[in-house]
Structures are given as C-alpha cells and as structure tokens.
Amino acid sequence: MLEKKNILDVGITNASKQEILEYIIKGLEKNVKKYFIVTPNPEILVLANKAKAYKSVLNRAEIALPDGVGVILAGKLLGISFKERITGVELLESLCEAVAKKPITVGLLGGGVGIAERTAECLVKKYPGLKVSFVGEEWPAQVDGRRWKIENSNLKMEDRKSIYPPTSTFKNLPSTFYHLSSSIDILFVAFGAPKQEMWMSENLDKLPVKVMIGVGGSFDYISGKIPRAPAFIQKIGFEWLFRLVIQPWRIKRQLRLLEFIFLVLKEKLSSKKAI
C-alpha cells in the first residue's frame, strides 16, 4: 500500500502521479484486490471533520489524492511535504492514456444527461485504443436532487430518515449496469462529494468492478461543458478562483476554505502543545 500522511485525521496518499498509475495498473494486471480511490480537497476535509461516517469512508480508500493546493499548503504548515498535487481529472486522463493499449476496460458513471457519453467520445478520440465498456447517468438522476446535512456526526439526506448509504442502494441500480459492469476494470464515478464516496464504499463489494475512482466534476471538463483554467493558472494554484469567476454560485462552497484554514491552524497549535 502507498504511504499516507494525515491531514485533519484523513489519510492522504504521498506519492507521485506516476507511482500511483503504476500501482493501479500493476494491481489490475495481477488482479490483486478491489478498492476505491478518493480525491480529498479542503471542502471534502471540512465535511469529513463534521461527519465521522464520511471520514471513515475516506480512510477506507486505498488511495486518497491530494486534490487542491490548499491540501498541499496545509501539509507544509503541518510539516508534511507531499510529492505533488494530483487532481481527479488529471488521474482520469493519465489512466486512460496509460491503459489505452492494454486489455483494461473503463466505465463512466455520472454527470448530467448525456455528459458521460460525450466524455467517453472525447476520451476515445484523444486516446485511441481506449476500451470504454459502460457509460451512463441513471444513478445520479436518482440522487442529485437530495440535499445533505450533518446529524449526530453523520451525513444524512434531508428527504430520508436513515443515514446514508441505505441498504436498498444496490437494487436501485439499473439492471443494465450490473450486466455490463462485469467487463469494467476501472469505473470512474462522477456524482460529486459526498455522494460518490459513500456510493463507492457501499457498492464496491456488490459489483464486479475492480477499481472505482471518484472524479467529481471531471466529466464536465473533459466533455467541454465547463472550461478548465489555463495551464498556468492551474500551475500557480488558482484554479479555484477561475472556477469561481465562471461559476459564481461556488462562493458558498469556497467559504469552507476559511473553515479549513481554521481547522489546520488549530491542528498546528495542538501539535505544538503536545510536544
């Protein structure tokens, strides 16, 4: 297993993108084990700090990418030097490029209506030989309208009495997905946090899929629905600001950055007192 370092009690993988790619591909070729991958950013870590069940799911992930410049900077403040920042969309594209010439299949689940299909078309065109065996957005059509809140340190959907994930999750999946998933080695799940992480944890052992990866809004960028920040903006760590400019509704989510900074400073101070 790749090394992890803790940020706010969530293990974050400390490895280069190349090391992660090799780990995933070698595992698939040897059929070692099933697992899921998450992409924690500051917003996700704040939510995990409030919801113990969600934090537990993140810590069960085989790999947790340091997705977001905030995570990298928090690591430096806490004396942790991550090898590099790796976003979900970067891993998705790099994996597709790496497996295009191998007998490894991928599936895309999530996004808005038609987005998974458009994403698949773009990926196959960009990486000739890529084998996409499933695309679909049936599941998110059932969950996107649900709102979430924190209750007793757990995530709860406001329109349900039970704590997510419900035991009925699997039977709500379209039968075509179960049938086709038998040929999926890597399933990219784009429901957005926290839905995708909870869903992967609940369904990993129920579906014949070897690796599940939560990729958030990656399909929107790859399909061209939403423009991604220019490379130089990504490099200096201001992609979040670019997203805010083109999607002003993100302001409420970006405010969680302030809470993240507070939590990291609090952890820094508590670690000093413990010395």
Predicted pLDDT of residue 145 = 39
Structure tokens of 176?
Answer: 């075509």
Q: How far is CA 220 from CA 9, 118, 136, 215, in A?
A: 30, 9, 14, 10
CA R_g for the chain = 18
The DSSP symbol for 4 reads E
Mean pLDDT by 10 residues, the chain (275 residues): 96 98 96 94 94 95 95 96 95 98 92 88 96 71 43 47 36 48 84 90 87 94 80 68 66 78 93 62
Q: Is the peptide bond before 194 cis (omega within 30 degrees of 0)?
A: yes
Task: Please state, in angstroms and rounded to a whole number, the distance separating the CA atoms of residues 223 and 33.
Answer: 31
Element housing 257 (H / E): helix 256-274
Q: Is the distance from CB of 75 to CB of 268 less than 8 angstroms?
A: no
Predicted pLDDT of residue 11 = 98
Q: Determine the Cα angle at 92 with ends 71 and 218, to 5°.
A: 75
Pick the closest to residue 21 from 81, 92, 82 (CA basis): 92
Q: Is the distance from CB of 107 to CB of 184 less than 8 angstroms?
A: yes
Task: Please state, in angstroms and rounded to a whole number, the distance separating the CA atoms of residues 168 and 153.
Answer: 22
Phi-psi region of 104 (alpha: psi -120 to 50; beta: other; left: phi over 0): beta
Q: How far is CA 163 from CA 50, 151, 191, in A?
A: 14, 9, 18
Predicted pLDDT of residue 245 = 67
Q: Domain range holding 14?
A: 4-274
Number of domains composing the chain = 1
Predicted pLDDT of residue 182 = 61
Predicted pLDDT of residue 240 = 64
- CA end-to-end span of the chain: 29
State residue 224 phi and psi, 5-degree precision.
Answer: 90, 5
Predicted pLDDT of residue 114 = 85
Predicted pLDDT of residue 163 = 35
Q: Determine the Cα angle at 89 with ends 59 and 75, to 5°.
A: 45
Task: Please state, in angstroms and rounded to a whole number, the distance separating the CA atoms of residues 38 and 196.
Answer: 9
